[in-house]
Structure 1
């Protein structure tokens, strides 16, 4: 009876070890793939340029693969933890002997493997999340900068357009002023021509008046010359007096 019970317990232990080794192998393969995904994820983000919309589908696929693989590894680690707990319960039911010492050594080795896998998984996951958060933040900053540049460029175009409109308006005003001035000068020219024609007609009609006007003009010129000579003589005399 005791021998049969011992055989059942031994078979149970072997089943637990097989489950542990199988889960460890599956977890190890998943962790290798997960680590490669982290490397490819970083490389993909570095090759993607800000504002480039073409790799959005690949980015979405990478994020989906990351979430899926992380969930699968967490499930494997949880199952492996349960198996380790069952193995621990098994060893506690045994007495203190050489066999239990060997089992405890085996259990400790499985626990160390579980701890290493958990540490590696958490480290890789944290690195990917940190890198993704940093890239998302940088992407948001780049998008804000691009939006600001586009807005500034549009404002510049609007200001330039307004400047051109004001320049056109000023040119139109200057042209209008020039045309008005031209018309005014033309009117003055016509008025002066009319006055000149009337004066000529008046002089032709009254020759005596024309001659009298000419004599008056000649007398004015003569008086001006005499006054100029007198003033010049006075200035010369004053200069001579001042020099002596």
Structure 2
């Protein structure tokens, strides 16, 4: 298949994608069927772009390279537009559901609080209660985050202090004449004492076992 034929089919897919995205933008919620159709066309467009790249490579021309690059940009724009529309429609749908839920709760609360002059007062009280609950949740979140940051900073500070102390100890030890020899003798003596203690314990165990 020639370069021009593949490009013609690709442009048809791009036009169809524009039409479907325009339809999706008019929806009140995510249309799964439209989204699937757009995905299928985008996959076909991606395959066609790969085919154009191979044809352009077989007959290198600067104009063809520009054409392929432009089709890539159009496909990326379509992918971004699809993701944006889906995110927006999902957010709008969730917002409507939340408002509907709040309205239902307000209606239930208002019905339970009587009618007439008490209706507005009950609704205002309910809204103040909800606002207070949200404020408390936000304040609690802020406190938790602040404590987490303080704990992290304290760990970092302690780690830095321990590293400095360890570095200074090693530096001081290296500057004292004979310190390495002294430390070696101490370690040797500890090992010797450990061996003697182990031998004594073993001998006692053997004596107890022998005379038992």
TM-score between both structures, scaled by the size of structure 2:
0.46
TM-score between both structures, scaled by the size of structure 1:
0.40
Q: Which has the bigger relative contact order, CA under 8 A and spacing at least 6?
A: 1
Higher Cα Rg, which structure: 1
